[in-house]
Structure 1
Amino acid sequence: MSIRFTAALFSAVLLATPLFAAEKHAFTPQAFEAAQAAGKPILVEIHAPWCPTCKAQQPILEKLGKDHKFDALQVFEVDFDSQKDALRSFRATTQSTLIVFKGKSETGRSVGDTGAASIAALLDKAL
């Protein structure tokens, strides 16, 4: 492989990969508490793979997560079907629930929202 080809390939990979993005994690109480203690902006997504509303939210959340404004946002995905303890701790009764925090303080919540503007406004409350 030539040096020119390798450099072009490397450049293409860098351009195709966002350098900054909201960081997404599987929910664990320990990781969530660490993000809160660090004062991070946090989004908790209560998600179910079978939920059509959750599927509608995904591309919106992915697009917003690439916005530099949300680079520091820590995203925790809670599985509605298997993480019942987390659901109780967040007082979430349905999938497609989005909850935002500034550190330890809950600053907003929505259920079933699929509007890009209103989801962006919700995420802004974590900043």
Structure 2
Amino acid sequence: MRQVSGGLRVALFAAAFAVAGLVQAAMASTPYSESAFKSAQATGAPILVEIHANWCSTCKAQAPIIDALAVQPKFKNLKIFRVDFDSQKSDVQKFGAKMQSTLIVYKGNSEVGRSVGDTKRDSIAALLDKGL
């Protein structure tokens, strides 16, 4: 068996943590259900509702930004719910969303912020801050 050098061992270790972080980030959002959303509201946790469509280029640009922000310590209690724009039309309407790529932030039962089509990390972070 070949010995792994110290530098390579450190690189492999760092890569494993990076992959673990990506897996955690990819799992940051939960498919929307009214019962799960209401439960999260009852806890008073900050909530992000993403009105998302898989075919939407803006939604695809938002996703890695949201995933990266969601793993930051200050957003550790953030609950993220993804509403499918195409298959959950009644839920899209309940949130008053007119189009995909809508981001809505709640603090408990109160909506505290909303954006449409935003793909800037700083402004998405500022939107999420409103839920804290």
- Shorter-chain TM-score: which interval? 0.7 to 0.9
**1:42, 1:100 within 8 Å by CA — same for their partners in 2?**
yes
Pick the aligned partner of 1:48 from 47, 50, 53: 53
Pick the aligned partner of 1:15 from 17, 27, 46: 17
How much has 1:83 moved relative to structure 2?
A: 0.3
User: Do structure 1's residue 98 and structure 2's residue 103 form an aligned pair?
Assistant: yes
How much has 1:24 moved relative to structure 2?
A: 2.1
AA partner of residue 131 (structure 2): A
Mean Cα deviation higher: 109-118 or 57-66:
57-66
Gaps of 5+ in 2: 1-8
CA root-mean-square deviation: 2.0
How much has 1:86 moved relative to structure 2?
A: 0.7
Partner of 1:31: 36
User: Do structure 1's residue 58 and structure 2's residue 63 form an aligned pair?
Assistant: yes
The CA deviation string for residues 47-90 of structure 1, in whole angstroms up to 9 with x for no partner, is 00010110111111111111111110000000000101111110
**1:23, 1:71 within 8 Å by CA — same for their partners in 2?**
no
**1:25, 1:76 within 8 Å by CA — same for their partners in 2?**
yes
AA partner of residue 15 (structure 1): F
The CA deviation string for residues 3-44 of structure 1, in whole angstroms up to 9 with x for no partner, is xxxxx8xx94873424x8684211000000000011110000
Give the alignment's TM-score, normalised by structure 2: 0.81
Percent identity over the alignment is: 56
**1:113, 1:119 within 8 Å by CA — same for their partners in 2?**
yes
What is the distance in 1 between the residues matched to 2:49 and 2:131?
A: 11
What is the distance in 1 between the residues matched to 2:31 and 2:56?
A: 18
Pick the aligned partner of 2:92 from 83, 87, 91: 87
What is the distance in 2 between the residues matched to 1:45 and 1:85?
A: 15
